[in-house]
Structure 1
Amino acid sequence: MLSPKRVRLDKPIAAAHKRIFAFLLCVNEERGIRATLRVAGGWVRDVLLGLHSQDIDIAIESPDSRHVSGELFAREVAAYQQTMGMASRTVSVIRVNPELSKHIETATVCVYDTPIEFCALRHDEYTRSDSRIPEVRPATPLEDALRRDFTINALFYNLHTMEVEDYTTGIEDLRRRVLRCPLDPSETFTDDPLRLLRGIRFVGQLGELEFSLDDSVMCCVNKGLLEKVTAKVSRERIGKELVKMLSGPSPERCVDLLLKMGLLQHVLLAELYMKRSQKGKFTAEVERIEYLAPEDTATDGSLASLVALNRTLTPLYSRSDSPLLLSSPSDKLVAVLFLLCLPLYRGTPREQLAERLYALCVNGLKLPLTSYNALRRMIECHKTLLQHRLDMRGITSAGVTDAAKLALFEGLSDLNDKRMVSSAFKIVLSSYLLLEQRSELLGCSDVGAVAGIISDVWSALERESGLLDAMTRPLLLKGDELSKLIPLDPPQIGPALVVLRRYAMLHPQATRDDMIAWLRKEKAAL
């Protein structure tokens, strides 16, 4: 067997993890198991990068005398804990379940309150070209390393020798900040196309470290591989990877790669053309799929606008000094999806918008309804600002014109929901500014300058008393009082209160008597 490259860790191991490893070695010896224990994958990668990781996966190399499965070792751990008078721990076993993409049995048990996953070394062999479900057999460390997606995830930390073992080029690739497959990437991704999406996610996940995909990965993507992604990987699995990408540290890098490879066009944009069946249910049938080049403007420039919006605004969701900083992953997901979908839906009639967005978000990406509703409302808000011809030149440090206030009020009404994404209106206004009025800023590499412009606009709005909170601030008149002042049927009270809020927004100093006088004067319009 090929000997690995062995190195000592040059980064300290957390004391809690040292304690866990010592305990596992004790179990291995005291229970007479005699297996070789290695930490595999992400923990090794992260420790070498100086990152904190709680994701400890133990790969078990069985002794010659018998096969030691993950479940067997986990149960030995639990039994040893009991003999030592420690708290009783449950062993959780995940059986092979191809439908859930679980191709080998794993077992998890807590050691010192940290969940540890155990799995025997394995070799995956894909015997059917139309399936990503492999045949699995026990393996050597080399075989286990070669079956992994990327070399930086194929590293082992041997608990016995306390050395990192590299059977591929993982250590060098970590140094070069590159994601490379242990085998030919065409073979790796053809066997399991989901790995291509995972590679893009890793680039975003390790964004601050400036990782990139190796040229061999970029060059292997073609129409045939794209078709395998949709043929062999369920939309649920694709959706989960997209959610992790778009809500991660560097979603703009992920989107850029998805576009360059054609994956976004093939997977995400195709969902925009899903249609209803005769029974009113969404189906996977697609009316139209366009294979678009990354900068193609064949669809009235919408894809080019998508690229530019992503490159300009998405980085601002993660910058600590940005007016658009989002701390919640779910908020960031909706905000990034908004920038991806807005150029494509800008011209969609309102009566079709909900249906198409539902097809994408709920049926396609399996997002929660709250995310779908937030995205729909944000796009409707943008369309409202466009419909009311909001002129951003009416928002200056000297004040905000009444015409701009009225348009802003209508947009705010679209976002009047307690479950709305934080900074939703600020995000919509920013996209409106770039897409509709300051197109020279689209694709601007100086995102700091764009952030400054957005901050100036928002500061001007914040200085206007009663504007940004026009839909939520308490009114001086209640609904029951309103019906006593002017003759209104119950269904008319809600719309009348909106009209009253509009008046209060334009006249923030108005008293209760001023409102009553205005209502009596304008009651015919109500």
Structure 2
Amino acid sequence: MIFTNFAFLLSIYFLSLNTSIPATFFPCLIVRGEAMFLPKCVKLNKPVADAHQKIFDFLLRVNEERNVHAILRVAGGWVRDTLLGLHSQDIDIAIESPTARHVSGEFFAREIAAHQESLGMASRSVSVIRVNPELSKHIETATICVYDTPIELCALRHDEYTQANSRIPVVRPATPLEDALRRDYTVNALFYNLHTQEVEDYTTGLVDLERRVLRCPLEPRETFCDDPLRLLRGIRFVGQLGMLGFSLDESVLLSVDGDLLEKIIAKVSRERIGKEVIKMLSGPLSEKCVEVLYQLCILQRVLLVELHIKVSKKGQPSAEVDRKEFLLPDGVENDSNIELMLMLNRTVAPLLSRDGTFMQLQPNSSEKIVATMFLISLPFYRASPRSEIAHRLYALCVNGLKLPLALYNIVRRMVECYITLAQEKLDVHTITKDMVPPAAKLALFNALNDINDKNIGQFAFKLVFTAFVLIEHRRDLLVSGDVEGCMSVVSELLSVLEREPGLLDAASRPLPLKGNELASMVPLKPQQIGPALTALRRHAMLHPEATREDMLTWLRKEYVP
């Protein structure tokens, strides 16, 4: 084994311009006539958590005592997050096989299980995910719990894409360099070698981590054309790591054009697109994701589209799309609706993540998904006939973005709540710090009735009301992007409503009269009981001092045969 001289390194560099090796100088050794690229190696900037070190020590014992003799590395997210000082339970082990044989993830997982059994530890099952292109699983992985922590194991691999309109690669065993190069971003291509206890960087992950930039190991165009989903993952990482200042590298932004957007549509299933988008919407900085999606025209040309599904002769929906309805006219990248959506995204969406605001929601929660989807969709549907809202929003949210049905229903009801406020002509200027006039109370009651459901949290009305106030009455704050001003104006109005007795809970508060009592006290038909209870709640809101007898007297007058 001898070190190469500078001339050879230079030749390798120029060779890399026409191969899959990135244009970066790698330390190089010659072993048996072959060039071997060495990674940049550094120690972790802080000790590994005790619980994780215990797992790593156990894996090394299995490797040695059961004569596996593989090289074990932690790959991807755990390494990135640990270097950033973040906690991560996402432990993925990349296995470099010994020369004599191939060690798969399943093989090593079963060795772990056998070793656990030999030590009298609790029996652990091995879960194996076989290759399944339809579910975007292109290589076999195995999962087993070690000290109650799930560990995913997979052999190092190289992906080769041979079909133009498919993101399903041909997979073969690989070296660490090849495995690193096939990953989506350099900060996700770092390894932590369990044997040397060093971070190995075969690309420029450490530099990019320091620069807070998401860059592809290979040329971005090649990376995204092979698997366009990687672009969406990068945008999701911007939202997840945005608090730390991460952004997409300029080379990534410049690689996106109409042809690549068409590849996303052709090669990535709606299920996979929806899964990434939902993670973006629920992330801590969802507004950053929306901005980038807009900047790259993914929002306009891929996501904001209603997919109307064909219905079979038996009335059942099929898997075939009948028609696509883009929310933006053909060839238009901008219109008043998307401008309004961007204003809401820049001024209202940040309040969803800000500590101490009246709209703060937990990241990665269903409420955060609903809130962000409401802000995205509202501008396009707020002026639509109420009769069209359900099927059009369903085509966008469920058929297009694969939003869970329960979450779609909340988004729909929030849009309908907004429309009710507009149709009732709620004038917030009539609300003073001392009084909410009857007309405003009635408008609010009817709107609250649209979202009167135990499955809909209090955030829903606050967000609808915020959007209504800013769009219909204080558009100036949206145009200026005055986040503090928006929060101040809406907070003051909400405080007045909350102080008004029995107003915001009027549509759901218990009544002194039950539905089963009404039929014996008032001549009502069965189909009239529901509307009568709603009318009673409306009356109770306007007259919070009314007693049970007062309500009964009023109801008898209203429903005289």
Question: TM-score, normalised to structure 1's length?
Answer: 0.95
- In the TM superposition, 1:226-265 aligns within 5 A as 226-265=261-300
Q: Among residues 99, 105, 108, which one is paired with 1:64 in the alignment?
A: 99
One-letter amino acid of the counterpart of residue 286, structure 1 = R
For residues 447-502 of structure 1, the C-alpha deviation after alignment (integer angstroms, 9 at most, x for no partner) is 23322222111110011001011012222333344334442212112112211211
Q: Among residues 365, 379, 382, which one is paired with 1:346 in the alignment?
A: 382
For residues 157-190 of structure 1, the C-alpha deviation after alignment (integer angstroms, 9 at most, x for no partner) is 0111111000111011111110000000000000
Deviates more, 1:509-518 or 1:316-325: 509-518
2:74 equivalent to 1:39: yes
Q: Among residues 138, 149, 153, which one is paired with 1:103 in the alignment?
A: 138
SS of 1:284's partner is: strand
Q: 1:284 maps to which residue?
A: 321
Matched residues in 1 for 2:509 and 2:264: separation?
Answer: 49
Deviates more, 1:91-100 or 1:357-366: 357-366
Matched residues in 2 for 1:348 and 1:81: separation?
Answer: 62
Decide whether the 8 Å contact of 2:477 with 2:485 is kept in 1: no
CA pair 82-517 structure 1, distance change in 2 beyond 3 A? closer
Deviation at 1:292? 7.6
Q: Among residues 407, 430, 437, which one is paired with 1:401 in the alignment?
A: 437
One-letter amino acid of the counterpart of residue 130, structure 1 = N
Deviation at 1:273? 5.5
Deviation at 1:144? 0.5
Q: 1:169 maps to which residue?
A: 204
Deviation at 1:347? 2.0
Decide whether the 8 Å contact of 2:239 with 2:286 is kept in 1: yes
CA pair 450-176 structure 1, distance change in 2 beyond 3 A? same
Deviation at 1:323? 0.6
Decide whether the 8 Å contact of 1:89 with 1:110 is kept in 2: yes
- In the TM superposition, 1:215-230 aligns within 5 A as 215-230=250-265
Decide whether the 8 Å contact of 1:309 with 1:443 is kept in 2: no
For residues 115-143 of structure 1, the C-alpha deviation after alignment (integer angstroms, 9 at most, x for no partner) is 11111111000011110000011111111
Q: Among residues 353, 362, 365, which one is paired with 1:329 in the alignment?
A: 365
Deviates more, 1:479-488 or 1:185-194: 479-488
Matched residues in 2 for 1:392 and 1:492: separation?
Answer: 33
Matched residues in 1 for 2:71 and 2:509: separation?
Answer: 65
Deviation at 1:58? 0.8
Deviates more, 1:464-473 or 1:343-352: 343-352
Identity of paired residues, percent?
63
Q: Among residues 334, 339, 354, which one is paired with 1:304 in the alignment?
A: 339
Structure 2: 5+ residue stretches without partners: 1-35
CA pair 229-454 structure 1, distance change in 2 beyond 3 A? same
Deviation at 1:294? 9.4
SS of 1:39's partner is: strand
Q: 1:88 maps to which residue?
A: 123
For residues 182-229 of structure 1, the C-alpha deviation after alignment (integer angstroms, 9 at most, x for no partner) is 000000000000001000000111121111000011111111100110
One-letter amino acid of the counterpart of residue 12, structure 1 = P
Decide whether the 8 Å contact of 1:334 with 1:421 is kept in 2: no
Question: TM-score, normalised to structure 2's length?
Answer: 0.90
One-letter amino acid of the counterpart of residue 192, structure 1 = D
CA pair 294-116 structure 1, distance change in 2 beyond 3 A? farther
Q: Among residues 440, 443, 459, which one is paired with 2:495 in the alignment?
A: 459
2:560 equivalent to 1:512: no
Matched residues in 2 for 1:201 and 1:355: separation?
Answer: 28
Decide whether the 8 Å contact of 1:395 with 1:401 is kept in 2: yes
Matched residues in 2 for 1:267 and 1:293: separation?
Answer: 13
Q: 2:60 maps to which residue?
A: 25
Matched residues in 1 for 2:502 and 2:211: separation?
Answer: 54
Deviation at 1:362? 2.2
One-letter amino acid of the counterpart of residue 346, structure 1 = R
One-letter amino acid of the counterpart of residue 474, structure 1 = P
Structure 1: 5+ residue stretches without partners: none
Deviates more, 1:80-89 or 1:337-346: 80-89
Q: 1:54 maps to which residue?
A: 89
Q: 1:391 maps to which residue?
A: 427
For residues 316-373 of structure 1, the C-alpha deviation after alignment (integer angstroms, 9 at most, x for no partner) is 1111211111227101101111111111111222222111122222222222221111
One-letter amino acid of the counterpart of residue 356, structure 1 = R
For residues 10-54 of structure 1, the C-alpha deviation after alignment (integer angstroms, 9 at most, x for no partner) is 122100111111111111111111111111000000000000011
2:510 equivalent to 1:474: yes
Matched residues in 2 for 1:490 and 1:432: separation?
Answer: 36
- In the TM superposition, 1:101-250 aligns within 5 A as 101-250=136-285
SS of 1:249's partner is: coil
Deviates more, 1:75-84 or 1:444-453: 444-453
Q: 2:527 maps to which residue?
A: 491
SS of 2:348's partner is: helix
Q: 2:459 maps to which residue?
A: 423
Deviates more, 1:391-400 or 1:13-22: 391-400
Deviation at 1:2? 1.6
Deviates more, 1:261-270 or 1:196-205: 261-270
Q: 2:49 maps to which residue?
A: 14
One-letter amino acid of the counterpart of residue 103, structure 1 = H
Deviation at 1:91? 1.2
Name the Cα RMSD after superposition: 1.8
Deviation at 1:384? 0.6
CA pair 519-86 structure 1, distance change in 2 beyond 3 A? closer
Matched residues in 1 for 2:517 and 2:469: separation?
Answer: 40
